[in-house]
Structure 1
């Protein structure tokens, strides 16, 4: 039997999918009315299909799908392993309307799907293709939405603790700082001292409020403060760090590493949190992690555990991943999470595929 070794991209299709959401959820800056995804599938000449997905919520569905439709004709004919070549090609084409923002998401989705196809062709998981530093990754349970009642908040964090998670993150940035302090106190009482607690303001606070909350958090043993203020307000990060000493985390909003470099020069960043779709895909994610290492900073990425855990296993300064369960019902091989650790998929490529029953094709 002859195996077709042609790994050129023959076709690509776009799909959408949704996860059930009982009611809208809110952080300090957004209200989410749906948990939705855009899925890209590329097919090689040999029949192998590489997949990627991005978290879209209810935002600009026509815009992101349009951006993907624009790049699909461009990538046909390139080989699955030519991820860097395709990235540069799409970067050149995006320059007129801007390399950052919406077009970067499409660029990254293509990159991630190509890596999946390449791994499947070689019959190797991503972490084995890139070299393995570790076999599992610490993971924390994320959520704690501001829109939750106290009962809903406590139910979520105790559920994480009961499942073996050693850390949880909750949202802050309520209209009153005293509300955030009380919710943090109740979470600490619920999970005890053996579970770490982090807080995330999603850029929703002003500097005086962030300082007040950071100082109050000392007594509650809060590990770190994520995106306390606008991600480009570097001076406020510096002042907050200098006045409170709290560990600061950010990176999920960034399309390049300029903010990382800017905050490091101000001694105002402790944890780098790249988002693989915004930063531009696998190579860009790893390049940012390498830069973080040069500054002796740990990497703890944003949201995409099914991509981040394999990649974290390939770097020496990867310290943990964020966990939501939203995508799990939609895929054939949900990631194993046990005793506070996530194990990378051991199947080829990213190690999972979306279930066809949950997908709606976009024509």
Structure 2
């Protein structure tokens, strides 16, 4: 057990008394493919923490088809058993203690994804105890933010359907449309030009390579993609290639977007210090939770760079609205099958963060119980 912090007010402490760990699989709504892998299902490890006062905080994380059972076991066997008796208010202390308890596998993506689930649940409790929604407790910088669509631009979608999806995104009010790239340059450019032709000048067209290119290929293609109207070049190379991103960034005026596969704030620091990116796409699950997400966002602010978070739109709408340098929310509605009230965009393409105390995700527990295939309870 993690003991209550020294110096804490014991009378006002609200310790965790029960930990419930779940694993839920969400099938993809249709076949999806990027330049690296298919996206057939989302594995969704979840954790539900109950405090002595009866406050229930829910956290979650995800993988795209593999590794969910490893995260479930890490939560159930190692992290979860440390939480009963812990003061749920001490979010920062708990994050660091849990992280150090798995030091032999941290930093690492499995560790970060598991830590994220716990951290999100603790923030859910923290917000409820404060009587505030996440976007206000974490900063309150924006009342709403614009959305862009990724759901219609997967690499396996044929040209006609791709253009139809771009038109639909335009007509629904989205502020941008993302197209996956990674075919031959000629094929990519053909698809991009067709999409750009049906979008108004006020609507951005982003491109995402999902880390497929070598340094030379990324630099070679950047000029052609920019000429086709790309607003940013996302994940052009493996995230471990910091030098390559720095050279690409120096070779093109097109913004370079990275961050969805960077696993801790220290790596983001290196990217920012070396001027290796233009847009920070920090992902709350993959970076280890809300606590490190906010650190990365404010670090980007110090470098005068925008944040456009990756995936997890139901959580990121609140986090992005908390910080001043957030610009866009990505639309991929994978989670809505588990929700009682899915996220809704306004006709002018904006989303407003939930106003209820907590992280603002309205889970449908009846559906979760049907789709879960693993569950453990820890007292």
TM-score, shorter chain, exceeding 0.5: yes
User: Partners of 2:251 and 2:321 in 1: how far apart?
Assistant: 35
Aligned CA distance change for structure 1 residues 118 and 228 (closer, same or farther; 3 Å): same
Secondary structure at the counterpart of residue 197 of structure 1 = strand
Query: In the TM superposition, what are the counterparts of 1:118-129 in structure 2 within 5 Å?
Result: 118-129=126-137
Query: In the TM superposition, what are the counterparts of 1:78-97 in structure 2 within 5 Å?
Result: 78-97=86-105
Secondary structure at the counterpart of residue 293 of structure 1 = helix
Runs of 4+ in 1 over 4 A off after TM superposition: none
Can you give the 5+ residue segments of structure 1 that lack an aligned partner in the other structure? Answer: none
Aligned equivalent of 2:340: 332
Aligned equivalent of 1:356: 365
User: Partners of 1:319 and 1:80 in 2: how far apart?
Assistant: 31
User: Partners of 1:333 and 1:309 in 2: how far apart?
Assistant: 14
User: Partners of 2:188 and 2:169 in 1: how far apart?
Assistant: 20
Query: In the TM superposition, what are the counterparts of 1:57-68 in structure 2 within 5 Å?
Result: 57-68=64-75
Can you give the 5+ residue segments of structure 2 that lack an aligned partner in the other structure? Answer: 1-10
Q: CA deviation at 1:243?
A: 2.6
Q: CA deviation at 1:147?
A: 1.1
User: Partners of 1:330 and 1:196 in 2: how far apart?
Assistant: 30
User: Partners of 1:120 and 1:86 in 2: how far apart?
Assistant: 18
Q: CA deviation at 1:265?
A: 3.9
Aligned equivalent of 1:199: 207
**Are 1:293 and 2:291 an aligned pair?**
no
Summarize deviations over 1:59-112 as a string: whole Å, max 9, x none. 123211111112111011112211112112102201123333212211111010
User: Partners of 1:362 and 1:167 in 2: how far apart?
Assistant: 39
Contact 1:170 1:198 in 2 (8 A): yes
1:225 to 230, 233, 255: 233
Summarize deviations over 1:270-310 as a string: whole Å, max 9, x none. 11111111212222111111211111111111112222221
**Are 1:50 and 2:63 an aligned pair?**
no
Aligned equivalent of 1:28: 35
Q: CA deviation at 1:23?
A: 4.3
Which shows bigger deviation, 215-224 or 205-214? 205-214
**Are 1:242 and 2:235 an aligned pair?**
no
The CA RMSD over aligned residues, in Å, is 2.0
Query: In the TM superposition, what are the counterparts of 1:71-82 in structure 2 within 5 Å?
Result: 71-82=79-90
User: Partners of 2:277 and 2:196 in 1: how far apart?
Assistant: 25
2:113 to 84, 105, 109: 105
User: Partners of 1:263 and 1:62 in 2: how far apart?
Assistant: 31
User: Partners of 1:194 and 1:296 in 2: how far apart?
Assistant: 23
Aligned equivalent of 2:356: 347
1:276 to 281, 284, 288: 284
Aligned CA distance change for structure 1 residues 238 and 61 (closer, same or farther; 3 Å): closer
Contact 2:28 2:334 in 1 (8 A): no
User: Partners of 1:152 and 1:34 in 2: how far apart?
Assistant: 22
